[in-house]
Structure 1
Amino acid sequence: MRVRDLIAATEWHPSPRRNARPVLSVLLPTFRRGSDGMFRKAARSVLSQTMEDLELIIVDDASTDGTLEQVRALMETDDRVSLLRHPRNIGLPAVSEYEAYLQARGTFISFAFDDFVFEKTAFESLLRVQESARAAVVHGLVAMPDMSGNTFLLGEAPYGHDKLRWSNFLGNAGVLMTREVIETVGFYDPHVILSRLCDWDLWYRIQKRFEIVGSRVQVGRELGSSRPDSLGNTYPMRFEVVHEFMALPRDTDLIPGRIENRDVLFQPQSCSVALANGIREVSSYFENKFWYEPLIMASQPEPAASPPPVVSVYGDCNASVSLYFVSEELPFRRVRFIEPAGNTWYENSQLATSDLVIFVREFLSERQASALRFCRLAQIPHLYFCDDNFNALIGEDPAWNAYSLDRMRSELTTFQAVLVSSRELRDFFIDNALHTDVDILSPIFDESLLEKIRKIRDGIGPFDEDELRITYFGGPFRNAALLRDVLPALDALPNPTRLQVRETPETYPTTKFSIEFAAPSLGFSHFLESWCKFKPNIIVHPSGTTSNIHFKSDNAILVACYLGAVPILANERAYEGIGYMEGVEKAGADPAQWYKALQRLVEAGKREEAYLRLLNFCRRHFSADASWRPIAELLEGIIPLTEAALQERYRLAAFYTPVHSIPPDRRTLRPSDVEANAVIKLYSDRIAAELVRQGKFESNIEGLYVKGWANIVGSSEPCRLDLHVDGHLYDSFDAAIYRADLAEAGKGDGRRAFLIPISPAIGDGRVHRIELRLAGGEKGLVKFLVMSAEFRRGLARKLRVLLGGLK
């Protein structure tokens, strides 16, 4: 079913007095939020903004609870309100948002929702941030209460917006953008697999091409996560496969106008077994919609016999991941990123659906080591990448003590290969027999990232061409050389000079030129986005004093290229054979040599010529095809996942809990301190969906789950419980999730209730022992056995035969 067919019957009721050119268009889809008063609160919070030059376009998805009448009442009292009305429920918010965008006339676009209440100054404050930052996309903070009554903030970006490649942390209603963004990267993808995550997918695509600026503006309060009938708590989600879908190139297909040809049910011709299963499962949730067409689904091609592999990069959001694995130029589109500190079940399922897992840097830390144990258990091919010699650093920092040669040699035996960032590091691994298959992985030149940084840089006002704007982004181990060799050379220059530095060296001598300190970087892209605004034309990278210096890579050259500057580099091994012809200047440990190198770049024309040579060198030297050759060769020998292998991995994931996912104990308890009740049920997907529709559950529970309640006697504290399946720790949780349906049924007061889904793999025809234990090891609160329906029927037949024989 294509978008154009879904929206063909939509009714458009514009305000007869609507502003032809408002500053802001606010898009508000809604469905059945009138009876509880939530819709009116949401709409009023938009219309009562201190920034009044806006229009509110409401899309009613065939509500039957009086919402339509409330919209019409708003239209009678406020000529900024217009209405789009669906005759029948579509159920895809991305489609409703698109229809509203087609009617929007504002310079800026913002998103409202029928379970969101804005602060009165939200839009005024966000527009002020946009004007100051001159950014295409800005966002603020959104408060979100969870089911237990705790509130957390969306919109905080401690790692920068690079982290959107790992997961979503932005509140949908907290984002404001220009129309240019949507016309460039496209709109929300209406495909069913993204029905719960279309906002994240849009931010994911935007951050590749535009700067996103965060702020401390308090935008409003998101209530959806605390409502049992919200989209987030009712629509299915297959987080472990959406990365594969999101990696598909789709921007052109999602441009307004072209998006109307988008089939919301299609299955890509070449996709993994896991993604194909995910699309089928999520699609079945919409089988009661008027637009659902099973015949079309049946006619879609099956996954290719040998679909492209899914490569998972397991590592933190840092430059090591960004420089080597993040690029639109990669020969493999299906690269996903797994955050070591992420959700337990998401991590397990992402690893389970991977054809290859690449562990980046600290593979012996507690978090990475736990994932490595699962890869070994599930026989998932894995390789190791590092860009530093941790063994050489043992004497400098005790944090690396675990990386002894013996330990590394032992742990690396299960890895298919080891990739390193320099020749010297490769020789070290080979000479010390750490692995038999060691190759070099180079940083990857990303043309789209260069274009993004250039656009930001060009948006900054012009500078004096004679002024030298010099940037130093080296680590603390290079500070001594900066003070000794570089600063005296800069002081001797006749040109007006400004120096930008990342960290404050211990002491600075008095200089003729100005020294500016850059704000701390929150991630690699954020570093490039913020530092390029200085418009540097020269990068200085003096020598370093560390035992790891000879193992460093040449990625400083690529960073200089992104920033639009010519690098002057120390004579280190990483840059041997690289010089004038590659657009690079070299200097030794001598102020005179640095002065001569700087003098060669004083003229703007000379810098431009050198930068062009640098750009051409980076495109050749850091090409994605050449960089990823070792990985490509390894993938040729890996057999893609089959359905049977995938299900076995899912089963293993159900019984495996990463060590870092187990929170510390709140207090020491004995079984007698806790009163508890639990029940286990096995519902069919269809029955579960009906219970969700009736509002008896806040999420679509498919299959097997444990629910119940637990209280610490005489206390209001949450009760910390461990769920064990056949003696293995399955999950650890607080019995503090409010459950209205349990309270109504007399199972506790609802304040200490829990609902824990169990993997469908347990319904395998065998008997399993399930226990609720107190966190920390105390055994036994509630024990029970669970068996599949087939097993129960077989057991009943055996009993009948046995009883018949006794007669």
Structure 2
Amino acid sequence: MNNGYWEGIEPPMLVGVISNTSATTALCFDGLSGLDPKITFRFIDPYKRDASAMDDCDVLIFVRHLFMPAYKEAFEQAQIRGKPVYLLIDDNFVTLAGEKQANPVDNEIFRPYAQPIFKETLAKIDGILSASRALTEFFRPYHPTILPFSAVSDRTITPIRSAPTDDLRVGFFGGAFRAEAFKDDVLPALKSIAERWPVTLFAAPHVEKIREQIDCDGLRLVTVPFHHDFREFIAEWQALELHAAVHPKGNSQNVKYKTANAVLVSHYLGAVPVLPDEAAYAGLGETDGVLKIGGARNLSKVMARIETASQRDLLLAGLARFCETAFDPTANMETVRRLRRDFSPVSQFQVRYR
């Protein structure tokens, strides 16, 4: 009796990632490298306008954008080639299109997402990759195929531990839409702490606008240049040896759709994340290595939890455990494998007799 049987062998897969958005791309894809020897990712910068890079790709994933001129041109080239196309979203551009942005350029970027052309374009693609549950629920009426795809832990990035310092080192790398809460909640708390312990605040360039409100006895502001490249950002901020990373609440309807990426970034920086009560951080607490802001009066008490190295180490250990689980790359890899199954049915797979 012959006990042999036929089995399908999944073929190699080349995924083209259309992006010049370093942070989202790095967070969602870098941790996948080498996990499946048959799946390769090719990163294609649409601004280089080399459509031939798409030719041998099995599927194309557009990161965040469809309507900026370079992306629009790349999408047209993908359609000419008949490639399966997916859109990866980690912000709600439909919501953002209804808000006036601080940077007028952003208004132009978001505007098409509130117009009929967005739904018309979605009808031409094969699906949406969603970075949060809230985004998935919002976009269900927009497309029948929505798959999970979010930030994953990259084991090639080694989190640091800060050396002992005479000052409390606090980082704020959030966007300008968090600036109001920074002034209202975080700044008073930092000034209170600075009365008994020197504080150095490392912040994104937009905070320079309120330097006069920050610099005082015991509190010093150091602005950190913006880095388009995510790994350069990580390297520069790791060198600052932060104790905490504050992420105050955001002033935007998009906040409810945000991801928990700030938690993973804080882990990389060796900084205890101090977070608002936003949907992305619901249910997180000290056992996960996370502290919650809870307003200016409460924040000064919360920050006392990181005043000693032993307290910080305990929180950072919990943070490492949380990130290992919450940002496991398995779900992203399963999504990519599903794309392969969808466009390489078993009848087209290589088969062998065993």
| Mapped partners of 1:557, 1:354: distance in 2 | 33
Which of these residues, 429, 450, 455, is aligned with residue 139 of structure 2? 429
Judging changes above 3 Å, is the alpha-carbon distance between structure 1 residues 522 and 374 closer, same or farther for their aligned structure 2 residues?
closer
- The answer to whether the 8 Å contact 1:384/1:418 transfers is yes
Q: Does 1:499 align with 2:201?
A: yes
| Mapped partners of 2:342, 2:97: distance in 1 | 36
1:578 alignment counterpart: 284
1:477 alignment counterpart: 177
2:321 alignment counterpart: 616
| Mapped partners of 2:80, 2:32: distance in 1 | 32
Relative to total residues, which structure has the larger helix share, 1 or 2? 2
Which of these residues, 299, 306, 311, is aligned with residue 601 of structure 1? 306
Count of equivalent residues: 323
What secondary structure, in the 3-state scheme, does the structure 1 residue paired with 2:273 have?
strand
1:408 alignment counterpart: 118
| Mapped partners of 1:636, 1:322: distance in 2 | 25
Q: Does 1:524 align with 2:230?
A: yes
- In the superposition, the TM-score normalised over structure 1's length comes to 0.39
What secondary structure, in the 3-state scheme, does the structure 1 residue paired with 2:310 have?
helix
2:252 alignment counterpart: 546
- The answer to whether the 8 Å contact 1:408/1:434 transfers is no
Q: Does 1:331 align with 2:35?
A: yes
Task: Note the C-alpha offset of 1:329.
Answer: 5.0
Residue type of the alignment partner of 1:327: G
Residue type of the alignment partner of 2:198: P
| Mapped partners of 1:378, 1:639: distance in 2 | 17
- The answer to whether the 8 Å contact 2:178/2:248 transfers is yes
Q: Does 1:378 align with 2:49?
A: no
What secondary structure, in the 3-state scheme, does the structure 1 residue paired with 2:205 have?
coil
2:349 alignment counterpart: none
- The answer to whether the 8 Å contact 1:358/1:384 transfers is yes
Please identify the structure whose Cα radius of gyration is greater.
Answer: 1
- The answer to whether the 8 Å contact 1:338/1:350 transfers is yes
Which of these residues, 631, 654, 658, is aligned with residue 336 of structure 2? 631
For each residue in 1:406-459, what CA deviation from the matched residue of structure 2 results, as whole angstroms up to 9, or x when unmatched? 3222111122220122111111111xx210111332201011122xx64xx78x
Residue type of the alignment partner of 1:440: P
For each residue in 1:680-719, what CA deviation from the matched residue of structure 2 results, as whole angstroms up to 9, or x when unmatched? xxxxxxxxxxxxxxxxxxxxxxxxxxxxxxxxxxxxxxxx
What secondary structure, in the 3-state scheme, does the structure 1 residue paired with 2:94 have?
coil
Judging changes above 3 Å, is the alpha-carbon distance between structure 1 residues 306 and 572 closer, same or farther for their aligned structure 2 residues?
closer
Q: Does 1:438 align with 2:142?
A: no
Judging changes above 3 Å, is the alpha-carbon distance between structure 1 residues 305 and 598 closer, same or farther for their aligned structure 2 residues?
closer
Q: How does 1:200-349 map to 2 (within 5 A)?
A: 306-327=10-31, 329=33, 331-332=35-36, 333-342=39-48, 344=49, 347-349=50-52
For each residue in 1:236-275, what CA deviation from the matched residue of structure 2 results, as whole angstroms up to 9, or x when unmatched? xxxxxxxxxxxxxxxxxxxxxxxxxxxxxxxxxxxxxxxx
Task: Note the C-alpha offset of 1:585.
Answer: 0.6
- In the superposition, the TM-score normalised over structure 2's length comes to 0.86
Segments of 5+ residues of structure 2 without an aligned counterpart are 1-7, 102-106, 346-354
What secondary structure, in the 3-state scheme, does the structure 1 residue paired with 2:67 have?
coil
| Mapped partners of 1:404, 1:504: distance in 2 | 27
What secondary structure, in the 3-state scheme, does the structure 2 residue paired with 1:401 have?
helix
- The answer to whether the 8 Å contact 1:388/1:552 transfers is yes
Task: Note the C-alpha offset of 1:487.
Answer: 1.3
Task: Note the C-alpha offset of 1:306.
Answer: 4.6
Residue type of the alignment partner of 2:42: R
Q: How does 1:593-742 map to 2 (within 5 A)?
A: 593-639=298-344
Residue type of the alignment partner of 1:558: L
| Mapped partners of 1:513, 1:580: distance in 2 | 26
Task: Note the C-alpha offset of 1:513.
Answer: 1.4
Judging changes above 3 Å, is the alpha-carbon distance between structure 1 residues 354 and 360 closer, same or farther for their aligned structure 2 residues?
same
What secondary structure, in the 3-state scheme, does the structure 1 residue paired with 2:337 have?
helix
Judging changes above 3 Å, is the alpha-carbon distance between structure 1 residues 615 and 305 closer, same or farther for their aligned structure 2 residues?
closer
| Mapped partners of 2:206, 2:113: distance in 1 | 30
Superposed CA RMSD: 2.0
- The answer to whether the 8 Å contact 2:32/2:329 transfers is no
| Mapped partners of 1:587, 1:567: distance in 2 | 10
Q: How does 1:139-178 map to 2 (within 5 A)?
A: none
What secondary structure, in the 3-state scheme, does the structure 1 residue paired with 2:151 have?
coil
Task: Note the C-alpha offset of 1:380.
Answer: 1.0
Residue type of the alignment partner of 1:630: T
Task: Note the C-alpha offset of 1:328.
Answer: 5.3
| Mapped partners of 1:484, 1:541: distance in 2 | 13
Task: Note the C-alpha offset of 1:374.
Answer: 2.4
Judging changes above 3 Å, is the alpha-carbon distance between structure 1 residues 599 and 446 closer, same or farther for their aligned structure 2 residues?
same
What secondary structure, in the 3-state scheme, does the structure 2 residue paired with 1:629 have?
helix
| Mapped partners of 1:482, 1:436: distance in 2 | 39
| Mapped partners of 1:556, 1:421: distance in 2 | 13
Residue type of the alignment partner of 2:203: V
Task: Note the C-alpha offset of 1:519.
Answer: 2.5
Task: Note the C-alpha offset of 1:331.
Answer: 3.1
Task: Note the C-alpha offset of 1:367.
Answer: 1.5
Judging changes above 3 Å, is the alpha-carbon distance between structure 1 residues 318 and 593 closer, same or farther for their aligned structure 2 residues?
same
Q: Please list every run of at least 4 consecutive aligned residues from structure 1 whose deviation after the TM superposition is greater than 6 angstroms.
A: none
Q: How does 1:346-385 map to 2 (within 5 A)?
A: 347-385=50-88
